[in-house]
A and B are shown apart, each in its own frame.
Chain A
Amino acid sequence: MRYCYAFLLLTMLAQAAWAQAPVDARRRALEQKRDFVVNMVQQSAGAQRVEASDNQEAKQLLAEARTSLAKGRVALDGGDMKAADDMFGDALRKMSKAARLVPDMAAEEDEKRVRFNKTLQEIEGFQAAYAGSMQRLGAESSAAALGQISEFVTRAKGLAADGKWDEANEVIGSAHGIIINAMSKLMATKTITYEMVFDSPKAEFEYELKRNQSYEELVPMALANFRPPDEVVKRVEEFLGKGQELRTTAKKQAAAGDYQAALESLQTSTGFMQTAVEQAGAMMQQ
């Protein structure tokens, strides 16, 4: 009985002790925040940029940030956690604003250059696709649009060569917009089907033959994996046999030049192969 009450007392003491821990944790968190703000305000790339710049507003903000930091340190040492946190937050906000007023020109230029090249590459890809689509969809050639795009691209490249990245990006952005709009208009509300296009019936036959053989290869794998009972194995082998027979017929028909009939036989053969795989246990859904 005594032990029960001792245990209860211990739990309550532990809870009281645990409630104290947060105060130290909070102080540690604030100290970490202080160190972070110090780093940002004294040593960061942003602070260095501001100091090296001519922007008076940014410099003013940085100075205010440093003052807030100092006030925050005083508050923290004095134990006023809330005031310290407010001051650190103020310092960070002002620092961030100052840094954003003086952007990193080198990095920005880099980024503009990379973006220009990407947009250019994209336009070139789209131009080729647009020409192809126009042909396929039978639309009248929009030579005007393509001409305008080429003109813009040339102009943009010229600006880029001079290092005028802002204008170059603007011009190439317009070109990009034109091609996108043209493609949108051409293909809007259409459905484009991506399917296999063969150069000759012979090529199609070869392809279908390979497909047929790939299903046949699956059968022993499926049997080894699923290990169905003997009657099922017999059935599988029956279907396999039928498929192989039809495939031989298909090959003969192809050799004779009748690709239409050959493909039909081959399709049926593939159907049997697929059934064989299904019977072995591999679920195939349609």
Chain B
Amino acid sequence: MNDAKSLLRWGWLFGCWFAVMPAQAEYGDVILNKYAELRGMRPVIFPHWFHRIRFRCKVCHNGKEDGYGFIMRAGSNDINMAKIVDGRYCGLCHNGEIAWSPENCDICHSGLPGLQPGIQRGHETKGPAK
């Protein structure tokens, strides 16, 4: 009976270990959740690395305002679906011509519930990632 008990205990420990393994977002991922979760969608996760491979910084961060470009500060761009469909912000490319169109909701809206907006994986300072 003792063997069985200790076996069970090890089993539980093993299971608990996997339950609490740390998970870390990819560096530079931006979470957009000003409106998404309020409207019943998952938060949006924007991966910088994927876009960096394909575009230089200045293409999106082109100094234009009002959605014709992105301001280089998480939280400074008021993005919503209406503007995207209208061809601003993400819609500058995600319009079915340069990249896929916003009908594919859950490719962008792919975050876990409750994520706080901001940019991920900064260093341990008060930098923009905090």
Contact = CB atoms under 8 A, between A and B. Distances in A.
**B63, B81, B86, B104: residue with the most chain A Cβ atoms closer than 10 Å:** B86
Interface string B95-111: 11000011111100000
B103 A93 contact: yes
Interface of B: 40-41, 63-66, 68, 81-82, 85-87, 91, 95-96, 101-106
Given A96-B87, A111-B64, 17 more contacts: A29-B105, A40-B81, A40-B82, A44-B82, A46-B82, A46-B86, A89-B103, A92-B85, A92-B101, A93-B103, A96-B95, A96-B102, A99-B86, A100-B87, A108-B68, A111-B66, A115-B63
Contacts of B104: 89
Contacts of A107: 66
A7 to B, nearest CB: 14
21 contacts: A29-B105, A29-B106, A33-B105, A39-B82, A44-B85, A45-B86, A46-B82, A46-B86, A89-B101, A92-B85, A92-B102, A95-B85, A96-B85, A96-B91, A96-B95, A100-B86, A108-B68, A110-B66, A111-B64, A111-B66, A115-B64
Contacts of B103: 88-90, 92-93
A71 interface: no
Interface residues of A, number: 28
B96 A97 contact: yes
A283 to B, nearest CB: 17
Contacts of A99: 85-87
